[in-house]
Chains A and B, each alone.
Chain A
Amino acid sequence: MSDNLLHVKDVETYYGNIRALGGVEVEVKRGEIVCMIGANGAGKSTLMMTICGSPQARTGSVTFEGQDITRMPTHEIARLRIAQSPEGRRIFPRMTVYENLQMGASLDNLKYFNEDVEKIFTLFPRLKERQSQRGGTLSGGEQQMLSIGRALMARPKLLLLDEPSLGLAPLIVKGIFAAIKKLNEEEGLTVFLVEQNAFAALKLSHRGYVMVNGKVTMSGSGRELLANPEVRAAYLEGGHH
């Protein structure tokens, strides 16, 4: 098997007649952290959802571990161990933190639940404190942690994160990014993330892509993109550093 885990090839995705993705090409290799940056409405979230099969790509193909998953129903794609922390977090608001994490472990029918939940609680001690609280009453940052934690409970081969830093205080963002890095280095978890916080994301990632109006316009290593004057002008000026 090649070291190519995910291959998005020439994908076009439509919402009705509106084309949101116009021939996107993205590759994610095993053990990598890859990020996608782009302005609002560029199509980043659409790409994430297309990988998960809702909506499905109209043309082109999505391949995971050499298997074509373009036309697969979402729940079957999830069963291949592609887990997502989607835009808007989408935790279960009336369920407790603990139950939310249980839902994440549905695939293995809670077989590894006890050991995995300990791991999540070490990663996000905040969640342990709040385990009996209802998801909907968590703070934004806590919900984000829960959303990532729930995705991790599925023992994913590929973790998709849609704007994990959205609306969070810089210190918490740091914590979450550190957690992602740790998972990647220690467990070899492959991560594909979408970010507005371009500086932090590119620093974290091995490789990055830039999306403009539904097309990938640039790609390269995290460091290359950080140094690129165009990227700096569009996504980094006025930011940190």
Chain B
Amino acid sequence: MANMTNTPESAGSNLMARALREGFYAGLVALGLFVLFVGLKTDQNILNELILVQRWGLLAIFVVIAAVGRFLSVAFIRPYLAERKAEKAAAPVKDANFFVRNFSMIAIAVLIVYPPIMVGLFGFQGSLKWVDNFGIQILIYVMLAWGLNIVVGLAGLLDLGYVAFYAVGAYSYALLSSHFGLSFWILLPMAGIFAALWGVILGFPVLRLKGDYLAIVTLAFGEIIRLVLINWTAVTKGTFGISGIAKASVFGIWSFDVSATNNFAKVFGLPMSSSYYKIFLFYLILALCLLTAFVTIRLRRMPIGRAWEALREDEIACRSLGINTVTTKLTAFATGAMFGGFAGSFFAVRQGFVSPESFVFLESAIILAIVVLGGMGSLIGIAIAATLMIGGTELLREMEFLKHIFGPDFTPELYRMLIFGLAMIIVMVWKPRGFVGSREPTAFLRERKSVSGSFTKEGHG
């Protein structure tokens, strides 16, 4: 600290000078880098001759972006971030504001009024996209991620084959409903039970495995289930999949089959539209999600939930406290799988069609990514992550204007994984523990006066 005597003004002008200088250099570097790649382009003309196209304008844009970006970063963004950091470190821990404190309640309220609002804004036909592609799609992933969260986030068992239970649930519903004509409301719990059973079946051989080894075996398990679905054509019809799966009804009272006498629209004398069914499905998956959250929150406070979390932290300590780690692990697998099974049967009902293609490894990876991004163990964080990731990729389909920038051949969906990956890297750099990284304790002493909140914050690392 040699120049402690610097006044703030001179420090400010120093900063500006440095920013200008660095901006200039960044421009130079960009010019050097891009002059051959961007400034000049080889092309073929109509006579099949190689010609050199000069694109000085584009090159100038690149250079200006680099120079101005660098300038802004050095002069404004970095000092701002540093200041924010210092402020944060200095400020006492604030009480969360109303919105943050009641986030989950507000979110649930918004979700409940979401379909009517969409119908109001876009009409029945126009709301389909928002309720189905965004609402239902996101909620399915929220549910799957919350289910996987029990296995990975709470019990700390890295499961890369979670989609297998999703598949078990979907095929349970598809097969049993088309062969035996059983209704959704009977098959939903059955699909959960079947999936839980498979969770235990997977659990047994992997009891002794941990970390990466466990991950590999679960990965293989997921692939085995998928390959069985493909090859056991007598039952599953292989890659053709099972179609014409029966729709769910409102507890058997109203049906959504067009031909049925108790058709929802007919009963209420409404015009025919497929959007009633979608709205019904939206509320159905919302209810399933809330069930998952409710069960997870309750279990965390019960002995089994505490045992899961302890198991994640230290297996040996668990055993020496009298916890049976075998049953603890199996119940974690079974419970997580059960919710996967529920989600699977919902998926089958929504699509009306299942095929092995829906249950590839990529799905497991996406669900796991959502859990990790959300902050393992945090329900709210995971819901936010699912909304951003799934909603974001759905939004990509909407971005027609990108075609004007990148040309008419540009299909934004193709860049989905690229953007997904980029987003993950950014989030992980910015928040290494995920959106909600600190674990919420499940128990307190009733009198909590002696301890200030700042003690409960976890160190970064």
A92 to chain B, nearest CB (A): 4
Q: Does A96 contact B (CB under 8 A)?
A: yes
Complex interface: stretch among A20-28, A83-91, A174-182: A83-91
How many A-B residue pairs lie within 8 Å, measured between CB atoms? 103
Contacts of B323 in A (CB 8 A): 75, 106
B17 to chain A, nearest CB (A): 43
Contacts of A52 in B (CB 8 A): 320
Are the CB atoms of B313 and A92 closer together than 8 Å? Answer: yes
Are the CB atoms of B450 and A129 closer together than 8 Å? Answer: yes
Q: Does B306 contact A (CB under 8 A)?
A: yes
Name the residue of chain B whose CB is nearest to the CB of A109: B303
Q: Does B261 contact A (CB under 8 A)?
A: no
Are the CB atoms of A96 and B321 closer together than 8 Å? Answer: no
A95-B441, A130-B451, A132-B455 known; A78 vs B306 contact (CB < 8 Å): no
Are the CB atoms of B444 and A98 closer together than 8 Å? Answer: yes
Name the residue of chain B whose CB is nearest to the CB of A107: B322
Name the residue of chain B whose CB is nearest to the CB of A89: B317
Contacts of B444 in A (CB 8 A): 98, 131-132
Q: Does B1 contact A (CB under 8 A)?
A: no
**How many residues on the B side are at the interface (Cβ–Cβ under 8 A)?**
31
Complex-state Cα separation, A54 to B313, whole angstroms: 18
A99-B306, A131-B445 known; A91 vs B317 contact (CB < 8 Å): yes
Q: Does A71 contact B (CB under 8 A)?
A: no
Enumerate B303-323 residues with CB–CB distance to A below 8 Å: 303, 306-307, 309-310, 312-314, 316-323
Contacts of B94 in A (CB 8 A): none
Are the CB atoms of B322 and A96 closer together than 8 Å? Answer: no
Contacts of A150 in B (CB 8 A): 321
B1 to chain A, nearest CB (A): 31
Which of A128, A134, A137, A150 has the most chain B CB within a 10 Å cutoff? A134
Are the CB atoms of A132 and B313 closer together than 8 Å? Answer: no
Enumerate B13-56 residues with CB–CB distance to A below 8 Å: none
On B, residues with C-beta under 8 Å from A are 303, 306-307, 309-310, 312-314, 316-325, 439, 441-445, 448, 450-451, 455-456, 458-459
Are the CB atoms of A95 and B313 closer together than 8 Å? Answer: yes
Name the residue of chain A whose CB is nearest to the CB of B327: A75
Name the residue of chain B whose CB is nearest to the CB of A84: B320
A65-105 interface mask toward B, CB cutoff 8 Å, 1 = contact, 0 = none? 00000000111101100011010001111111011001110
Which of B303, B306, B310, B321 has the most chain A CB within a 10 Å cutoff? B321
Contacts of B303 in A (CB 8 A): 106, 109-110
A90-B316, A95-B310, A106-B306 known; A132 vs B441 contact (CB < 8 Å): yes
Q: Does A6 contact B (CB under 8 A)?
A: no
Q: Does A219 contact B (CB under 8 A)?
A: no
Are the CB atoms of A133 and B455 closer together than 8 Å? Answer: yes
Are the CB atoms of A78 and B314 closer together than 8 Å? Answer: no
Are the CB atoms of B316 and A99 closer together than 8 Å? Answer: no
Contacts of A83 in B (CB 8 A): 320-321
Q: Does A154 contact B (CB under 8 A)?
A: yes
Are the CB atoms of A99 and B321 closer together than 8 Å? Answer: no
Partner of B456, one of A86, A128, A133: A133
Are the CB atoms of A132 and B456 closer together than 8 Å? Answer: yes
Name the residue of chain B whose CB is nearest to the CB of A85: B320
Contacts of A154 in B (CB 8 A): 321-322
Are the CB atoms of A98 and B441 closer together than 8 Å? Answer: yes
Contacts of A93 in B (CB 8 A): 313
Are the CB atoms of A134 and B324 closer together than 8 Å? Answer: no
Contacts of B314 in A (CB 8 A): 90-92
A90-B317, A131-B445 known; A79 vs B322 contact (CB < 8 Å): yes
Known: A52-B320, A54-B316, A95-B313; 12 extra A-B contacts, CB below 8 A, are: A73-B319, A94-B309, A94-B313, A94-B458, A96-B441, A129-B450, A130-B451, A131-B444, A132-B455, A133-B455, A133-B456, A137-B459
Are the CB atoms of A94 and B459 closer together than 8 Å? Answer: no
B331 to chain A, nearest CB (A): 15
Are the CB atoms of B451 and A131 closer together than 8 Å? Answer: yes
